[in-house]
Copies of this chain bind each other. A is one copy, B any other.
Amino acid sequence: MGLKPNSALKASKTLFVLPSLFTFLLVGSQGENTAMDNVATERRAEESHRQDSANLLIFIMLLTLTILTIWLFKHRRFRFLHETGLAMIYGLLVGVILRFGVHVPRNMNNVTMNCSVNASPATLLVNVSGRFYEYTLKGEVSTVKGHDVQDDEMLRKVTFDPEVFFNILLPPIIFHAGYSLKRRHFFRNLGSILAYAFMGTVISSFVIGLVMYGCVTLMKAVGQLGGDFFFTDCLFFGAIVSATDPVTVLAIFNELKVDVDLYALMFGESVLNDAVAIVLSSVLLHYEKQSRQARHGHGETTALVEEQGIPPSSIGAYQPAGDNSHTFDATAMIKSFGVFLGVFSGSLALGVATGVMTALVTKFTKLRDFPLLETALFFLMSWSTFLLAEACEMTGVVAVLFCGMTQAHYTFNNLSPDSQDRTKQLFELLNFLAENFIFSYMGLTLFSFQSHVFNPLFIIGAFIAVFLGRAANIYPLSFLLNLGRKNKIGSNFQHVMMFAGLRGAMTFALSIRDTATYARQMMFSTTLLIVFFTVWVCGGGTTPMLSFMSIRVGVDSDQDSSVTVSDGTQHRNTKHESAWPFRIWYNFDNTYLKPLLTHSGPPLTATLPACCGPLARCLTSTQAYENEGHQHNDDSDELVLNDGNATMYGDVTVSTDASGTLTTNHKHLSASTMGITSEEALDQELAFGEHELVIRGTRLVLPMDDPPEPTMTLPPPPTSPPPFSDPFSDPFSDPFSDPRRNRL
C-alpha cells in the first residue's frame, strides 16, 4: 500500500538518516592512468564536504543563539514570544543574509548530455571511456524559469530534502508528545479529544477546502491564477493546515499551569490531529495520484506494473472509477476513507505492538540493573517502530506517536528510576533540538526557498478559511459534546481553543514535502505565512487571552481532583463523564494489561480465572505480589510516585484515606467478578466509583513528596496465592543484582 505522499520527482531520493548513507562500496581495480581524474574528483568531494560542514555549522550556530536568547527570555520572564517564535526570527535573519548578502555562484562542473532514455531512471550507469560510473537521480532541474536564485550555490546547499523532516526531525517530536502525555487527564477527556481530533480535523479540512475552492474559483475569474489548482489541491491544503501544533501554546499552558482539562483537551487534540492530518493528506495524494494514473489509461498502468514487478492488485485496488481525477468522486473518496482507516489503524497497531514488546522485555529481564542498557533498548525499540511502519508502508510518525503513549503507559513503570529520568531527558533533548531546528529552518526558508508564489488573494482567502475551519471544528463539536458531557466545556474554553490553534512543524513538513507544481508552491508560501502569523500573534497572545477569558491558572495537575471535590457538584464526574467504551477499557487495562505488562497492578493470579492459574503465576512478577502484600520496597514507592498512570492505579489499590481507616480493596473484587460477567463488574465499578473518588480526593491532598507508605499495609486479597520465589526475578536472591555494583 504505497501511501506516502511523495511527489514524483522529489521522492526519487527518499532520504533517511542512515539508509540514505547506505551506498555503493567501491570496488574494482583502479588504474594509474586515471590518477588525474581521481585527484580532481577527490578535490571536488573535499570541497563539497567542507561546504556541507560549514552549512550545517550555520544551523548549529542558529540553535546556539536561540538557546542563549531563550535563556535570557526565561530569565527575564518574557512570555510574549516563545522559543519557537524566536528560532523563526533568527532563521529569518539568516535567510535574509544568505539571500541578499552572500552570493556564491553555482559551480558549473556539470556536464550536460543528451541521451535516449525515455524515462529518468533512479540509477544511471555512465560509461566514461571504458569505465562505468554509477549515478543516482537527485531530481529534475528547472530550466524553464531562469531564476538567478537557482544558481546560488549557498541557497541551494542550505535547502534540505523535505523527507528529512519526516524521517529525522518529526519522529522524536511526535514520540516525545506521546511519551509526555499526561495520561490521567487525557483519558478523562478521551471522548472529547477523539471527537475534536478525528471529526474536527475532517470537518476543518473540508471547510477549508471548500472555502479555498471558492477562493480559487474567484481568482480564476479575476485572472489572478497562474496555474492549475484543482479541488483535490484545495482539500489537500485543508488537510495540511488543519494540523494544530502541540508545542508553543502548551509550553505556555504548562508554565502558567492552566486548568488541566483545558490542557488535556488542547494537548490531546493537537497530538492526535497531527496523526489524522498526515494520514488524511497522504490519502488525498494517493487518491489524486491514482486517478491521474487511471486517466492515463489502463494499458500503461499494466505495463508499469509488469515492469516494476508489483502485483497488479495492489495498484488496482485503489483506482477510482471515474476518469477525470480533479472533479470530486464520491466512490473513490469512500474508498480512500477505507484506506485512511486501514493505514491509521495499522500504524496504531504497529506502534502499540512495539510498545508492548518493550514492556514485556523490560518486565521479564532484569535489565533495570543496567540503566544504560535499558535506555539503549528503549531508544532502539522506539526507533524500530518508525522503521517497521515505514517498511510496512504504514505511516511511521503515527506509529511512533502510539508507541510513545504505550511506552509511557506500560514500559515506563518497568524502568529503573535512573532509566526513567534518562529516557525522559533524552527525548526531551531530541524534541527540543528537532523542534527548534524546524522552526529556525522555517524562518530561513521564507527567503531561501527558490520558488515562492505569494498571491495576496489566495493568502487572504487562506487566513479566512483557516479561521472558519477552526471555528467549524471547535464550536459545533463543543456544543454536541456538551450535550453528553457532565463537566461542560465552557465558552471561555472554546474561545481559547479556537484562538490557540497554532500551526507548526507538522503543517510545515507536510507542505514542504511536495513543492513541484504551481498549486503546491502557492500552498507552501501561504502555509509559511499562516505558521508565522499563528506562532507570533496567537502564540504571543495566549497569555493575555487566558487572563481575558478568566481561565484558572496556577492549577497543580495532581491536586486538581481535590479542588474539584471542594465544590461538591463535580467530584462524581471524573469517572462517569467518560463513556462506557472507555470504562470497559479502563477495567480491562487495570486488571489484565497492566499486571501482564508491568510490575504494577494486582497480580494476574488474582485477576485471571482460576483455570489460568499456572499461566498467571508465570506472568506475574514477584514485585506484583509485593505491591499487593505487606512488603514495602523500592517498586512500591515508584508505583505511587509516578505521575498519571500510577495515580490511576493508585485510585484503586491504595485506597486508605488520610485518617488511616482501611477500606476494602474493592477493585480486586470487581476484577475477580469480572472474570464471570463484565456487565456485573461495570455496575460494581460504577457503584464503587463515588466512594473511591472521595477517598482519592482526600489522599491527593497529602503532599506528593511524601510517599504514602502507611497506605501500603493492605491485607493480601483472599484469592492471591503466597508469593512464590523465582530466583531469577527476585531482586534479593541475586547478590550481583545491586544496581550500584553492576552499573556499566
Query: CA A246 – CA B49 in complex, angstroms?
Result: 28
Shortest C-beta distance, A214 to chain B (Å), equals 24
A144 contacts the other chain (CB 8 A): yes
CB <8 Å contact, A19 and B53:
yes
Q: Which of A225-251 contact B (CB under 8 A)?
A: 227
Residue of B nearest to A28 (CB): B142
Point out the residues of chain B lying under 8 angstroms from A134, CB to CB.
110, 137-141
CB distance from A213 to the nearest CB of B (A): 20
List residues 312-364 of chain A with CB under 8 A from any CB of chain B. 361
- In the bound complex, residues from chain B placing their C-beta under 8 Å from that of A30 are 8-9, 140, 516-517
Residues of chain B within 8 A of A47, CB atoms compared? 308
Tell me the complex Cα distance, A292–B119, Å: 40
Residues on B with beta carbons closer than 8 Å to the beta carbon of A63: 376, 380
Question: Which residues of chain A from 109 to 142 have any CB-CB distance to chain B below 8 Å in the complex?
Answer: 109-129, 131-142
Determine whether the beta carbon of B428 is less than 8 Å from that of A8: no
The answer to the question of A221 belonging to the interface, with a C-beta cut-off of 8 Å to chain B, is no
A27 contacts B736, C-beta separation under 8 Å: no
A366-387 interface code vs B (CB 8 A; 1 in, 0 out):
1101101101110111011001
Provide the A288-304 mask, 1 if CB < 8 A to any CB of B, else 0: 01001100100010001
Given contacts A11-B42, A137-B41, contact A25 B57 (CB under 8 A): no
Q: Which of B125, B126, B300, B384 contacts A61 (CB 8 A)?
A: B384
Q: In the complex, what distance in Å separates the CA atom of A387 from the CA atom of B64?
A: 14
Contacts of A693 in B (CB 8 A): none
State whether the Cβ of A486 lies closer than 8 Å to any Cβ in chain B. no
Q: Are B140 and A49 in contact (CB under 8 A)?
A: no
A566 in the interface, Cβ–Cβ < 8 Å?
no
Chain A contacts with B in 156-206, Cβ cutoff 8 A? 156-162, 164, 168
CA distance A70 to B376 in the complex (A): 12
CA distance A17 to B734 in the complex (A): 43
Q: Does A45 contact B (CB under 8 A)?
A: yes
- Determine if B137 and A123 form an interchain contact, defined as CB atoms under 8 angstroms apart: no
Whether A60 contacts B110 by the Cβ 8 Å rule is: no
A365 contacts the other chain (CB 8 A): yes
Q: Closest residue to A115 on the B side, CB-wise? A: B113
Q: Whole-angstrom distance from the CB of A477 to the nearest CB of chain B?
A: 32
Closest to A368 in B: B71
Q: Which residues of B contact A129 (CB under 8 A)?
A: 118
Check A307 for interface membership: any CB of B closer than 8 A: yes
For residue A515, CB closer than 8 A to chain B, the reply is yes
Docked-complex contact B135 and A46, CB < 8 angstroms: no
The segment out of A31-39, A88-96, A581-589 that lies at the interface is A31-39
Contact B387 A27 (CB under 8 A): no
Nearest CB of chain B from residue A169's CB, rounded to whole Å: 10
State whether the Cβ of A659 lies closer than 8 Å to any Cβ in chain B. no
User: In the assembly, what is the distance between CA of A60 and CA of B390, in Å?
Assistant: 14
Please report the C-alpha to C-alpha distance between residue A16 and residue B168 in the assembled complex, in whole angstroms.
14
Contact residue among B4, B126, B141 (Cβ-Cβ distance under 8 Å from A113): B126
Contacts of A375 in B (CB 8 A): 425, 429
Decide if A57 touches B120 in the complex (CB within 8 Å). no
What's the Cα separation between A608 and B515 when bound, in Å?
A: 61
A55 partner, pick from B22, B24, B158, B370, beta carbons under 8 A = B22
Whole-angstrom distance from the CB of A327 to the nearest CB of chain B? 15
CB-nearest residue of chain B to A9: B26
Whether, in the assembled complex, A13 has its beta carbon less than 8 Å from a beta carbon of chain B, the answer is yes
Rounded to whole Å, the gap between the CB of A407 and the closest CB of chain B is 15
A44 touches B (CB below 8 Å): yes
Complex Cα distance, B59 from A547, in Å, reads 52
Interface code A673-703, partner B: CB below 8 Å = 1, 0 otherwise?
A: 0000000000000000000000000000000
In the complex the two chains form, is A53's CB within 8 Å of B391's CB? Answer: yes
Interface code A62-73, partner B: CB below 8 Å = 1, 0 otherwise? Answer: 011001101110
**A14 on interface, CB distance cutoff 8 Å:** yes
Q: Is A40 an interface residue (CB 8 A)?
A: yes
The answer, yes or no, to whether A143 is at the interface (CB within 8 Å) is yes
A16-B52, A27-B516 given. 9 additional CB < 8 A pairs? A19-B49, A28-B145, A30-B517, A51-B391, A61-B384, A110-B125, A124-B124, A134-B141, A376-B433
Between A and B, 25 residue pairs with Cβ closer than 8 Å are A8-B30, A10-B25, A12-B45, A15-B20, A16-B56, A20-B21, A25-B162, A25-B449, A27-B142, A27-B451, A27-B515, A28-B516, A29-B142, A29-B517, A41-B119, A44-B308, A56-B387, A57-B384, A60-B380, A75-B736, A110-B124, A112-B127, A114-B127, A379-B429, A426-B429
